[in-house]
Amino acid sequence: MAKHKGRGWHSKLLAAALGVTAMAAATSVWTAQADTAGGRQPEAGVSTPDARHQDRNVTKVAEDIAHASDRGARGVNITIDDGPDPTWTPQVLQLLKDSGVKATFCMVGTQAQAYPDLVKAVVAGGHRLCNHTVSHDTAMDKKSEAYQSQQILDAERMITKASGGVRPQYYRAPGGAFTPYSRHLAASRGMRPLGWNVDTKDFEHPGVDAMVATVKSEISNGPTVLFHDAGGDRSQTLAALREVLPWLRQQGYSFGFPVR
């Protein structure tokens, strides 16, 4: 699964998140519990996830990256990344409502914190939440476990608070920058690592026809389709969704959620 190309708006997200990162470093950073199979031990003086973040209401899920749909072989998972955004998310939500489609929204923590009403609107629409980290750092797989912990756990907290208490059910690494550690951590918090099969590359503004053609030619590769509702002008995304959703139905697909 190829990583996304760098997007200019990510530097703004990273800058906005610096304050969150600085505070979190002193309060919420920890490393994974000992991995007895690999002989890895927690860093000295740092809490383990079980010691500090155990929650009886959280059920651990599988650590492998999910691609399949809970609707079976003819299911499709529409996933919407990088929001919420005050301009584009409401339009995406209205389009999905009009189309009778539920989707999974992979939210950036700082965006969720800034627009809690939109997070609540996503939940109210029957859609699912996904953790897309605090600041969408596509190089986080090259950084420390402490940093990965902060990005995942603080985003979980931000999204859950913004939603009014609804937890994200998935974790999608920015640009596909998963690590074994981040997958284990997310799964231990009840968030199934989530990949994709069809990348519309809408963040590159390739044109509506190109995006639609990508879905039509690649949906046979697997059911999880990647779109975005933030990070720039998403008018092409909306236009592509208007064509893609009815076409998928005509082909006999139904819309579901990624397996957990």
**Tens digit of each residue's pLDDT (9 = 90 or more) over 81-103:** 999 999 999 999 999 999 999 99
- Tell me: pLDDT of 199 over 80: yes
**Per-residue pLDDT at 37:** 28
**Per-residue pLDDT at 6:** 46
- Tell me: pLDDT of 21 over 50: no
- Tell me: pLDDT of 196 over 90: yes
- Tell me: pLDDT of 124 over 90: yes
pLDDT confidence tier of residue 28, bands split at 50, 70 and 90: very low
Is 228 a known active-site residue? yes
- The residue annotated as part of the active site, out of 10, 132, 136, 228, is 228
pLDDT confidence tier of residue 31, bands split at 50, 70 and 90: very low
Partners of 107 in the β-ladder:
131
Residue pair 84/112 in contact (Cβ under 8 Å)? The answer is yes
188-198 average pLDDT score: 98
Burial 139-149 (b: 16+ CB within 10 A, else e): ebbeeebbbbb
- Tell me: pLDDT of 134 over 50: yes
Measured CA angle at 116 (ends 69, 90), to 5 deg: 65
Residues 6+ positions from 128 with CB-CB distance below 8 Å? 102, 103, 104, 105, 168, 169, 170, 257
* Ordered alpha helix ranges (H), 33-83: 49-53
Is 132 a known active-site residue? no
Residue whose C-alpha is closest to residue 211's, from 227, 194, 222 = 227
Domains of the chain listed by start with CATH number: 60-255 (3.20.20.370)
**Per-residue pLDDT at 23:** 40
**Any long-range contacts for 247-250 (C-beta under 8 Å, 24+ apart)?**
247/212, 247/215, 247/216, 248/76, 248/215, 248/219
pLDDT (tens digit, 9 = 90+) per residue, 229-251?
999 999 999 999 999 999 999 99
pLDDT (tens digit, 9 = 90+) per residue, 149-189?
999 999 999 999 999 999 999 999 999 999 999 999 999 99
**Per-residue pLDDT at 33:** 31
The four Cα atoms 44, 49, 52, 56 give a dihedral, to 10 degrees, of -160
- The residue annotated as part of the active site, out of 81, 137, 141, 199, is 81
**Alpha carbons 74 and 254: distance in angstroms, whole number:** 6
Residues 6+ positions from 77 with CB-CB distance below 8 Å? 69, 103, 104, 223, 224, 225, 255, 256, 257, 258
Of 15-29, 45-59, 175-189, least confident by mean pLDDT is: 15-29
Polymer length of the chain: 260
